[in-house]
Structure 1
Amino acid sequence: MAVSNILHLGIKELRSLWRDPVLMIFIVYAFSLSVYTAATAMIDSLNNAPIAIVDDDRSPLSMRIVDAFYPPYFKPPVLIEQHEVDARMDMGIDTFALHIPSNFQRDLLAGHQPAIQLNIDATRMGQAFTGNSYVQSIVSGEITTFVERHRQVSVTPVDLVLRAKFNTELNSQWFGAVMQVINNITMLSIILTGAALIREREHGTVEHLLVMPVTPFEIMASKVWSMALVVLVATALSLWLVVQLWLAVPLHGSVGLFLFGTLLHLFATTSLGIFLGTIARSMPQFGLLMVLILLPLQVLSGGTTPRESMPDIIQHIMLLAPNTHFVMLAQSILYRGAGISEVWPQFLSLILLGGALFGLSLSRFRKTIASMA
C-alpha cells in the first residue's frame, strides 16, 4: 500500500508540474540556453578588445608598435590625439589607450629609458586584467626586435614540455558547460521540491491529503522521487544534446556512473528542498531562503574556485554540504574519467548526508502536517 501511494502521489506531482508553464520553461532554459551561455560567455583569453593609440612620435618604431595590435585579440587600433583619451574612455569607447611620446625612438636608441603610458578602463575587469599583460608583451617584443634588428631566440638549459591533461585544448568551454549543468542540478532539485510543497499549501490541497489514508513519509517520498526524476532526465538530455552535440565537449568518464552519483545527490538536495519548503510560508519567502542557501553552496563547493584555495575552516564546514562531494565526483568522472574505485568516498558521503537530510526533513514535515491537522 505504501509503495502504491508513493507512486500515485508522485504521478500527481508530475502532472502538477506539467501544468505549471513557468517552471517548465525554467527547467528547459536551465539545462539548455543557460548551459550554452555559461560555456561561451566566460572566455579567459582576450577577444576583440578596443584599443586607441596616441602616436606623438610618428617614427618607424611607433608605427611598428601600432601595427602589432590586430584581431582576434584586439580590434584594429584607432589613432587619436592626446586630448581625446579621457573623453573616449569616459564614454566607454576604448578599454586601452596607449600613449607613445614624441622622440620615443630617438631616446631609445640613445640609450635612455623613455616611458610609454598605458591607460586601462578597469571597470572591464576581464579584458583589463588579461589585456594588460598582452599589451606589455606586444610592446616589449616589438621594441626588442627593433633594437636588436632580429627576432631574439632565447636558449634555455632545460626544455620544458607542456602536456595538458583532461583538457588538451585548454578550452574554457569544456569547464563552463559541465559546471553549469552541475550547478543547475543542485538549484533545480531544491526549487522544484520546495515549490511543490508550497504549491500544495497555497492551493489548499494539503488538507485533501490529510484526510486520505497516506502518511507524511509517503507524501514526502513521492515529492522526492518525482522531482528527482525530472531533474535526472533533464540532466541526461542536457549532457547529450547541449554539452556533447551542441558544444562538442568530450566527456572522458562514464555518463551512467555520473548519473548514478547525480541520483544520490538528488536524494539529498530534494530532501533539503522539502526542509526549506516547511520553513517558508510563501514563494517569496522561499525565494529569499534560496538566495541565502544556494549561493554559498555553489560558490564554496569547489565548482567556481578550487577548494584548496579556500580557508581550512571553510573546507571543513563545506564537507557537510552534499554538493561539495557531488562537484568532486562529477569533475573526477566527467573530466578525468575516474571509476567507482576513485569516487566511492564521495558516493558514501552522499548516501550518509542524504539519509541525514531526509530524516531531518521528514521530522520537520511531520510537525508541519500535525500543526495543520
Structure 2
Amino acid sequence: MRLATIFHLGIKELRGLMRDPILLGLILYSFTVAVYAEARAIPQTLNNAPIAIVDEDGSPLSLRIADAFLRPYFKPPVTITADEMDTRMDAATDTFALDIPPHFQSDLIAGKSPVIQLNVDATRMTQAFSGSGYVQSIVAQEITGFAATQTISQIPRVDLALRARFNPELNQTWFGSVMNVINMVTMLSIILTGTALIREREHGTVEHLLVMPVTPLEIMLAKVWSMGLVVFVATGLSLVFMVEGLLQVPIEGSLGLFMAGAALDLLATTAMGIALATIAGSMPQFGLLLMLVLMPLQILSGATTPRESMPEAIQTIMLAAPNTHFITMAQAILYRGAGFATVWPQFLWLAAIAAVLFVFSLLGFRRSLR
C-alpha cells in the first residue's frame, strides 16, 4: 500500500465531486437550510422517561408521589440520594430528578407552602418539553388526593421549582440544530462514498483503475478519506457558523474532542456506504437501500427519541450502529461539557465498529471486482 497513490486517488474523488452540482447542492443544503429548519421543529411525545426521586421526607405523602409515576409515560422511579442527583444527570441517566424536601408532609399539614425541586435534562427535548408539565400535574394531583384524607380546611400551595439542566430555556433550537448536524454526518458520509463507487462502476473507470498498479484497499481508502474529509469540514463549519453563529446555540464542551469522535464515526459510515454500494447494482438500487438503512439509523439511534423509550430488543440491536454511540458522545460533549474521561467508552465502541465495518466492506469490495 502506497500513501502517495491513496492521496492522488482521493484528489481524483474530490475533483469528481466538484463537478457534480447535485451532490454539492445536497451538502450545502444539509448543513445550512436543513439545520436551520430542524432547529425550529417542536418535540411532542413523552414515553418511558427515566425519573429519579430524592425522598428527603420519607413520609406517606412522598411515597405516594413516587408511586404515581407510571408507565407508559415514565419508567419506575429510582430512589437516589441528593449527592447522586447531579452525577446521574450529568451522565444522562435520568431525564427528571424530583427532590422532595425534609418535613414536606408536616409543612403541608401545618398550612405552609413547601417547595419541591424538579431537575430536567433539557437536552432530551422530546421528553423534557412536555414531561415537566406531566410531573407538575401528577404532583398536584397526589397532593390534592392526600389533602382530601386529612383535616385540612384549605389545601396550601406547593411550588415546584423547575431547574432545566443543559438547556435552561427549554429552547428546542438548541436541541434540533445539533442533532440535525449529527444526522447529516451519517447520511452524507454514506451517500457520498456510495455514489462515488457507483459512479466509477457506471462510467467504467473501476476497470481502468484495476489495470493500473493500484489495489482494492488503496481505492477504498482513497474514497474513505476524501468523502470523509468533505463531511468532516462541512460539519465543523456548520457547527461554528450555523449552530453557534446564526442560531446562537452555546457549545459547552470541546469542539476538538467532538470532531475527533466525528472522525471515528466517519470512518465507520463511509465504510458502510461502500458496503451498500457493492451490494447495489445501480444508483436506483442504492437509493432504495439507503431508505432501508438510513431511516432506522436516524430514528432508532436516539437522535430524535431517547433510546429509553424504545423496546429493549431495539436498544440492544442498535448498539451495533455507529451513530448510536456517536449521538451519545456528541450530546455529552456539546451539551454537558463532558471530557474524554466521560466519553471514552463511546470512542472505544466507535473504533471497534469502524474496524469491523471497514474489513467487511473491503472484503465485499474485493469480491465485487472479480
- On whether the aligned pair clears a TM of 0.5, the verdict is yes
Matches within 5 A, 1:172-191: 172-191=172-191
Amino acid at match of 1:278: T
The match for 1:149 is none
The Cα of 1:43 is off from its aligned counterpart by 6.8
Q: Which residue of the partner structure matches residue 160 of structure 2?
A: 160
Deviations 1:118-155 (A, max 9, x none): xxxxxxxxxxxx9xx9xxx9xxxxxxxxxxxxxxx973
Q: Which residue is 1:42 aligned to?
A: 42
Question: Pairwise mapping of residues 153-232 of structure 1 onto structure 2 (< 5 A)?
Answer: 155-156=156-157, 159-232=159-232
In structure 2, distance between residues paired with 1:189 and 1:331? 20
- Asked whether the equivalents of residues 41 and 176 of structure 2 are also in contact (C-alpha less than 8 Å), the reply is no
- Give 2:220's aligned amino acid: M
- Counterpart CA distance in 2 for 1:41 and 1:162 is 23
- Aligned residue in 2 for 1:301: 301
Task: Select between 1-10 and 21-30 the one with higher mean Cα deviation.
Answer: 1-10
Q: Please tell me the residue identity of whatever aligns with 2:156.
A: V
Deviation at 1:160, TM superposition (A): 3.1
SS at match of 1:164: strand
Asked whether the 8 Å contact 2:31–2:235 carries over to 1, the reply is: yes
Q: 1:212 to 1:253 in 2, by over 3 A?
A: same
The one-character-per-residue Cα deviations of 1:263-295 (angstroms, maximum 9, x if unpaired) are 000000000000000011111110000000000
Tell me the TM-score normalized by structure 2: 0.69
Q: Distance in 1 between matches of 2:254 and 2:34?
A: 24
Structure number with greater Rg is: 1
Pairing of 1:1-373 with structure 2 (within 5 A): 2-42=2-42, 155-156=156-157, 159-370=159-370
Q: In structure 1, what is the Cα distance between the partners aligned to 2:204 and 2:298?
A: 33
Q: Deviations over 1:345-369 (max 9, x none)?
A: 0000000000000000000000111
Offset from partner CA, 1:275-328 (integer Å, 9 cap, x none):
000011111110000000000011000111110111111111100000100010
Quick one: distance in 2 between partners of 1:268 and 1:188?
13
Q: Summarize deviations over 1:229-269 as a string: whole Å, max 9, x none.
A: 00000000000111011000011111110000000000000
Cα shift at 1:220: 0.2
Q: What is the TM-score of this pair, normalised by structure 1?
A: 0.69
Q: Distance in 1 between matches of 2:202 and 2:180?
A: 31
- In structure 2, stretches of 5+ residues that fail to align are 45-129, 138-153
**How many residue pairs were aligned?**
266
Which digits, 9 at most, give the CA deviation of each residue in 1:162-194, with x for residues without a partner?
Answer: 211100111001000000000010000000000
Deviation at 1:339, TM superposition (A): 0.5
Cα RMSD, aligned residues only: 2.0
**Distance 1:18-1:154 versus aligned 2 partners, 3 A rule:** farther
One-letter amino acid of the counterpart of residue 19, structure 1: R
Identity of aligned residues (%): 63
